């Protein structure tokens, strides 16, 4: 933002100098108004862009489609006959990135076995996305409550889906 503000100042200063020089060289005083108008438009456009960037920095938003696809592909590498993942959601807040998901495992798995799996998933994601903060929620596959409210922003590819690049 500071660099864009500085460039606006430079363009404004150059515009003023060009306007004065053109009037001095041509004697046509309306050139000053034309140059001033152009400089004013540049200031307005730059101001709007800076405001939009500032608002985006304050608002959370989902990660890019490409990042979501890559995250889903990493997660899909851990799914299989016993393990499923759903409710994968991603967001970016400023420079921080977040992913949350539900990992479903057989109910007869030990807590340690389930924990080891989610640690592996989280580690694989952080290796691919160093700034990503991952939160997993471990659930038994057999529990119907595990399937409530799972509107996923990011679908997990099935093992039968061909990988996309």
Concatenated DSSP letters for 30-75?
HHHHHHHHHHHHHHHHHHHHHHHHHHHHHS-BPPPHHHHHHHHHHH
Count of domains forming the chain: 2
On whether both 85 and 140 belong to a single domain, the answer is: yes
CB 125 within 8 A of CB 75: yes
CATH code of the domain covering residue 85: 3.30.70.1350
On whether both 70 and 129 belong to a single domain, the answer is: yes
In a domain, 157, yes or no: no
Q: How far apart are CA 1 and CA 110, in angstroms?
A: 51
Of 43 and 133, the one with more pLDDT: 133
pLDDT at 161 over 60: no
Q: Which pLDDT score is estimated for 162?
A: 45
Structural domain harbouring 51:
2-58
pLDDT tens for 74-100 read 999 999 999 999 999 999 988 889 999
On whether both 107 and 53 belong to a single domain, the answer is: no
On whether both 90 and 137 belong to a single domain, the answer is: yes
pLDDT tens for 3-44 read 766 777 887 888 888 888 888 888 888 888 888 888 889 889
On whether both 105 and 82 belong to a single domain, the answer is: yes
On whether both 44 and 76 belong to a single domain, the answer is: no
On whether both 81 and 49 belong to a single domain, the answer is: no
In a domain, 156, yes or no: no
Q: Which pLDDT score is estimated for 21?
A: 87
Alpha helix segments (H runs only) across the chain: 2-26, 30-58, 65-76, 111-128
Q: What is the mean pLDDT of residues 95-121?
A: 95
Q: Please list, residue by residue across 50-73, b when 16 or more beta carbons sit within 10 angstroms of its beta carbon and e when fewer do.
A: eeeeeeeeeeeeebeeebbbbbbb
On whether both 125 and 76 belong to a single domain, the answer is: yes
In a domain, 75, yes or no: yes
Write out the two tokens for 73: 């592909």
On whether both 69 and 53 belong to a single domain, the answer is: no
On whether both 23 and 82 belong to a single domain, the answer is: no
On whether both 72 and 46 belong to a single domain, the answer is: no
Of 1 and 42, the one with more pLDDT: 42
On whether both 16 and 41 belong to a single domain, the answer is: yes
Alpha carbon of 60 to those of 18, 66, 96, 154: distances in Å? Answer: 43, 17, 10, 16
pLDDT at 2 over 80: no
With CA atoms as reference, report the closest residue to 76 among 159, 160, 139.
159
In a domain, 77, yes or no: yes
CB 159 within 8 A of CB 76: yes
């Amino acid at each position: 933002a500071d660099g864009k503000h500085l460039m606006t100042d430079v363009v404004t200063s150059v515009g003023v100098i060009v306007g004065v020089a053109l009037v001095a060289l041509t004697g046509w005083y309306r050139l000053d108004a034309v140059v001033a108008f152009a400089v004013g438009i540049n200031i307005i456009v730059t101001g709007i862009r800076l405001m939009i960037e500032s608002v985006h920095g304050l608002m959370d938003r989902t990660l890019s489609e490409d990042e979501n696809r890559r995250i889903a592909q990493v997660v899909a590498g851990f799914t299989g006959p016993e393990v499923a993942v759903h409710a994968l959601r991603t967001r970016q807040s400023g420079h921080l990135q977040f992913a949350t998901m539900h990992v479903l495992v057989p109910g007869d798995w030990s807590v340690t076995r389930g924990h080891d799996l989610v640690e592996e998933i989280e580690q694989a994601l952080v290796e691919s996305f160093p700034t990503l903060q991952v939160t997993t929620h471990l659930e038994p596959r057999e529990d119907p409550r595990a399937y409530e409210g799972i509107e996923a922003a990011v679908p997990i590819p099935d093992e039968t889906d061909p990988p996309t690049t």
